[in-house]
Amino acid sequence: MRFSVLSRSYTPLAVAGLTLATSLLAAPCSAHAADTVMPDQSHGQVVHLFWKKEEIYDHNRQTVTLTGGARAQRGDMTVDADTLVGYLRPKPQSAQTTESDTGNMELYRVEAFGHVHIYNLVDQGWGDHGLYDVDKGVMLMTGKAMKFTSPRHLLTARDLVEYYPHTRVSIGWGDATVNTSDGKRITADIMQAFELTDAQKAANRASQKGQSANNSDQQDTNLDRAYGWGHVVVRTERQTATGDRGVYLAGPQLARMVGNVHVTQGQNQNNGSQAIVDFKTGISHMLSGSSDPVQGLIVPNETKQ
């Protein structure tokens, strides 16, 4: 079955098309709001809508519902779902219609229900329910078995996933995990992953020219860094480190843990306020805080590292 197409402006009596422009339903991660604030794109690229079955306009609610498998597409960003609901608002005075565009309403929010799949040329995510804010260019997803993938890393979460395509930032809320393609795993109550920008990747490629093939994983990765808050856990082949907060740096393959840090290897355990975990060597370095000394439990029969 072919998709029906709706694009540019929307008029209730004569469907000519849609221009999508949204305001955010939910606030971004408060811990790093400054990193994820997006410019207003309410009158930027047109969003095209496609659907297979019905298009239902609700005058009272000012919504348009697309059923039977629907798609919203803006630039290289696409949202697929069983059903899409677009929320309408009057166009601002400065954006009123011209001779070539007779619509006087615009969409400010797109809500997705069932088998939600968001993707662009690099990243993609899955969930049961999604909300696309076109003003800010932000996608929120909830549901079972949520996941967000980017080249060489995977983010999963229990409660909510936020995606900011223009800054390449993803945030997982509730039992969140970042897994890298080379086997590294960081978990926390909240995880925030930053991908490398195109400029950063180009700089990395230039700086690594002539280096051995052993560095190819670092060169090809899209992950720059990942922050964790609450019950942070990182694991290497030899050790497990836990703490209140942490950050993983993909380039040097180091993680820094802060607050109530415990590093365990076999039956041996070291406690302190900070630790540096080296994923290359699998060894952690304990750091004392301003007033708390490093404490350790060493079992004599354990193999010395």
d(CA 84, CA 86): 7
Are 77 and 165 spatial neighbours (Cβ–Cβ below 8 Å)? Answer: yes
pLDDT at position 188 is 98
d(CA 287, CA 297): 16
* pLDDT, average across residues 34-45: 44
User: In Å, how far are 245, 261, 295 from 273, measured between CA atoms?
Assistant: 11, 5, 10
pLDDT at position 104 is 79
Sign of CA dihedral 284, 285, 288, 292: positive
**259 closest CA partner among 232, 283, 279:** 232
pLDDT in tens, 55-104: 999 989 999 999 999 999 988 899 999 999 999 888 877 654 443 444 67
CA angle 229, 233, 235 (to 5 degrees): 145
pLDDT at position 248 is 94
User: Could you tell me the pLDDT band of residue 289, with boundaries at 50, 70 and 90?
Assistant: low
Are 257 and 232 spatial neighbours (Cβ–Cβ below 8 Å)? Answer: yes
Residue 304 has pLDDT above 80, yes or no: no
- Comparing 26 with 152, the larger pLDDT belongs to 152
Task: Write the single-letter amino acid at 252.
Answer: P
Structure token digits, residue 58: 């609700």
pLDDT at position 298 is 43
- pTM for the full model? 0.75
Which has the minimum average pLDDT: 145-154, 207-216, 226-235, 286-295? 207-216
d(CA 46, CA 241): 47
Structure token digits, residue 188: 């926390």
* pLDDT, average across residues 190-196: 93
CATH of domain 146-305: 2.60.450.10
pLDDT at position 266 is 84
Grouping H, G, I as helix, E, B as strand and the rest as coil, residue 152 is: coil
- Comparing 13 with 141, the larger pLDDT belongs to 141
Share of the chain above pLDDT 70, in %: 70
pLDDT in tens, 21-38: 222 222 233 333 333 333
- Rounded to 10 degrees, what is the CA torsion of 38, 44, 50, 55? 90
Of these ranges, 3-17, 154-168, 267-281, the one predicted with the greatest mean pLDDT is 154-168
- Comparing 83 with 204, the larger pLDDT belongs to 83
- Comparing 30 with 278, the larger pLDDT belongs to 278
* pLDDT, average across residues 159-172: 93
d(CA 196, CA 224): 5
Structure token digits, residue 147: 């996941």
Helix, strand, coil abundance in the chain, percent, nearest 5? 10, 50, 40
Domain boundaries, the chain: 1-138, 146-305
User: Could you tell me the pLDDT band of residue 235, with boundaries at 50, 70 and 90?
Assistant: confident
3 state SS for 165-184: CCCCEEEEEEEEEEEECCCC
pLDDT at position 147 is 93
d(CA 24, CA 108): 9
User: In Å, how far are 36, 173, 189, 229 from 31, measured between CA atoms?
Assistant: 10, 12, 13, 9
